[in-house]
Amino acid sequence: MELYFLGTGAGMPTTERNVTSIALRMFDERGTFWLFDAGEATQHQILKSPLKPSKLEKIFVTHLHGDHIFGLPGLLSSRSHQGGTETLEIYGPAGLRQYIETSLQLSQSHLNYDINITEIDEGIVFEDGQCKVEASRLDHRIESFGYRVVEKDRPGRIDVEALTKAGIPPGPIYGKLKQGEDVVLEDGSVIYAKQYISEPIPGTIITILGDTRPCEGSRYLAQRADVLVHEATFMEGLESLAETFYHSTTRQAAETARDAGVGQLILTHFSARYSDVEPLMEEAKLIFPDTLAAKQLELIPVRKRRDTTT
């Protein structure tokens, strides 16, 4: 799984940064990517990236401010001309359906694929055999959500060496053991899966927050996440401004990451007043050392937390 930042700016685009949109490239076996927000010109950013709109599976919208949704109508329309035929699932706050349907209707845009729009509340908003996505409200001027993507635990590793010593050659038996099934051999003896399979491998957890002041919802979603993507609109010292406009500072983002015990913090959603975001990252590192400032059109591999036992 990999994160690809299509835009890292807040409010309006600058010459250095486009507004917010984050792609999450999913597991190889899924072969798709998910999008979190689609600010203005997101489709232009995708053209500069390795992402293919035909592989876009889901869009999760955090809130309905323009710098997070103005790119949606154009992206949806262009996807029709870029090989997109599979159903597209879109999740977000109340009002999202009206915005999308009205934009497409008034522009007379025709899609050659189906879209399913789900207006969400707190709780599990999507789940299948591979992963689940949980949403929680944040603290912003309008209704804003964060999302916690949880990959389900994978089966443990099979001890091939021990099975070979026991006289069990590779074959269908290995597959059954991998699935946790005990196997009865032709001579009546039983091979117990738990003796040859390690504990399940914990799935990856990625938390991506919308715009927010520090709040319980962000701390809840971030708990023990492998990666936390958190807005850092302002530098330390501008807490009063952040409070007024319902945003966070670098320090507040770092404190959330530290208190939630995450593996890595990635800062994004930088105010247009900052042409260089390196100082923002350095501020956060004083509190939470494993911090990155997202760069536009940068691919960041998602890595597991070093401590997965607690």
Q: Which residues are identified as catalytic?
A: 67
- What are the strands, taking DSSP E only, across 49-130? 56-60, 88-92, 115-119, 123-127
- Contact yes or no for 85/53 (Cβ under 8 A): no
Instruction: Residue 287: name the closest of 211, 215, 232 by CA.
Output: 232
280's enclosing H/E stretch is: helix 278-285
Instruction: Residue 226: name the closest of 214, 238, 208, 244 by CA.
Output: 208
* Cα 287 off chain centre by: 23
CB neighbourhood size of 123 (10 A):
8
Contacts of 102 (CB under 8 A, 6+ apart): none
Q: Which residue has the tokens 């209707």?
A: 105
Tell me, what DSSP letter sits at residue 130?
Answer: S
Tokens of 264: 């890595």
Residue 75 main-chain phi, psi, to 5 deg:
-65, -45
Instruction: Residue 11: name the closest of 234, 222, 227, 216 by CA.
Output: 234
